[in-house]
Amino acid sequence: MQTVDDSKIESASGSQPAVPVHIAVIMDGNGRWAKARTMPRHAGHRSGVKAVRRIVEVAAKRGVSYLTLFAFSSENWRRPKEEVSRLMNLFLDALQREVDDLHRNNVRLSFIGARDELQQGLVQKITLAEEKTKDNSGLNLIIAVAYGGRWDIVAASKKIASRVAADELALADIDDECLAGELALAGKPDPDLLIRTGGEQRISNFLLWNLAYAELWFCDCLWPDFSERHFDEALSYFSSRQRRYGHTGEQVGVA
C-alpha cells in the first residue's frame, strides 16, 4: 500500500506553491498546425522545435526544476517511414544546434526511452549532450524519445525479476518504492503538472506510473503556437488546485 508523508499533506493545503517542481508536457499538434497552413508535416515539427526553445526559457525563468517533454513515443514508430526519418534527422539537427546554448544557460539535459531502437548516430549525440551538461545546476530538461509508459513499467519489472532471480532481492521487498527506483525517472520527483496541447484530453501512454498524482491541464492551442501566456495559464491552474494524495479535503485543508 502506498503511503503519503505529512509534507505532501502540507503541500496540498493553502500553501500550495504557484510553480510546480516538475512539469511534463505532451507536445501535440505539429502536424495539424502544418496542415492548416498547407505545409508539409515536417514543417510543423520544425516549428515545434522553436516552441520547445521558447518554453524551456520560460520554465527556467519561472523557477521550474524539472521539465520533461514527450518528443517521440513508442507508438510513433508506426508513422510513415519518411516522417519518422525526418523526425530522427530533426532530433540530430536540434541536438547539434541547441546543446551549446543549453550548456551556456546551465541546463542539464537527459533523455529517457529505448535507446537501442534509435540510430547509432543519434545515440552518440545524446550521450555527448548528457555528458557535456551533467554538472549543470539549473533546469533539468528531460527529453522522452522512443518512450512509452508501458515499455517503462515492463522494463522496470524485468530488472526487478532479474534481481530476484539472482537472489539480490526478495519478493517481500518489492513495493512502490522498489519499482519506482527502476523506472526511467528514477531519482527524480514525479511530475506535479502535465500539460497537453492540441485539444486532446488523454495521456497517451506517457509516464503512466509517474503521473499518478499529477494535475492535468489541457489546451486547444497547437504546440507550435504554445506561448509564455499559455504556460502561465497552466501555472495559474496548478496553483488553484488542492492536491489531496488520497486524503480528504478536510485533512489537507487543515494547516
**Residue ranges covered by each domain of the chain:** 6-253
Looking at residue 14, its pLDDT comes to 46
Average confidence score pLDDT of the chain: 90
pLDDT at residue 253 in the model: 62
Query: Is 220 a catalytic site residue?
Result: no
In angstroms, the CA 25 to CA 234 distance is: 11
Average pLDDT over residues 171-197: 97
Q: 108-111 contacts: CB < 8 A, separation 24 or more?
A: 108/133, 108/134, 108/135, 108/136, 108/137, 108/138, 108/139, 108/140, 108/141, 109/133, 109/141, 109/143, 110/140, 110/141, 110/142, 110/143, 111/142, 111/143, 111/144, 111/145
Residue 10: is its pLDDT beyond 80? no
pLDDT confidence of residue 84: 86
pLDDT at 81 > cutoff 90: no
Q: Is the pLDDT of residue 230 over 80?
A: yes
Write down the catalytic residue from 76, 89, 136, 205: 76
C-alpha separations of 152 from 47, 143, 206 in Å: 29, 14, 9
Cell of 156: 522496470
Q: Mark whether 76 is an active-site residue.
A: yes
- Partner residues linked to 195 by β-bridges: 25, 217
Asked if pLDDT for residue 7 goes beyond 60, the answer is: no
Mean pLDDT of 78-86: 84
List the grid coordinates of 4: 503519503
| 6-253 CATH choice from 3.40.1180.10, 3.40.920.10, 3.40.190.10, 3.40.50.300 | 3.40.1180.10
**Residue 18 or residue 235, greater confidence:** 235
Radius of gyration of the chain (CA): 19
| Active-site residue, selected from the candidate residues 28, 152, 190, 192 | 28
Higher pLDDT, 15 or 195: 195
Higher pLDDT, 167 or 2: 167
pLDDT of residue 90: 87
